[in-house]
Amino acid sequence: MSALTSPQLSVPTAEDAIEAVNRWLHREVGMAVHTTTARFDQSTFYWHLPIELAYASRGTLGVVGDLYIHAATGEFAGHPDAEELIRRAEALAAACGID
């Protein structure tokens, strides 16, 4: 009889998902975008993370996109590319009076 084992997850917790996404965002998009929350969907096995634009002097301005990261594989799915996130962040900043 074989023993049952739990699968090893690449992204097992919300904190792990936030860390992975912020690392990608800061490297590919810029330091003004980040995520602070992750919600797990058991039916898809994806973490959903809203991406926010924030400035130290103004706080959070709003959400500019969403990223999804698979808990088992750590692969991203269903997210805008870095250039699109940059365009959205620049448009939101301009709408808030930030050049």
Domain spans, the chain: 14-95
Alpha-carbon distance of 54 to 32, in angstroms, equals 5
In the chain, what is the straight-line distance between the N-terminal and C-terminal CA atoms, in Å? 65
pLDDT value at 4 more than 70: no
Look-up of token digits 């009889």 = 1
Q: Which of 40, 65, 41 is nearest to 52 (CA)?
A: 65
Is the model more confident about 1 or about 77?
77
pLDDT tens by residue, 30-73: 999 999 999 999 999 999 999 999 999 899 999 999 999 999 99
pLDDT tens by residue, 75-87: 999 778 999 999 9
Secondary element (H or E) of residue 87:
helix 82-95
Q: What is the pLDDT of residue 51?
A: 97
Tell if the pTM clears 0.85, that is, is over it.
yes
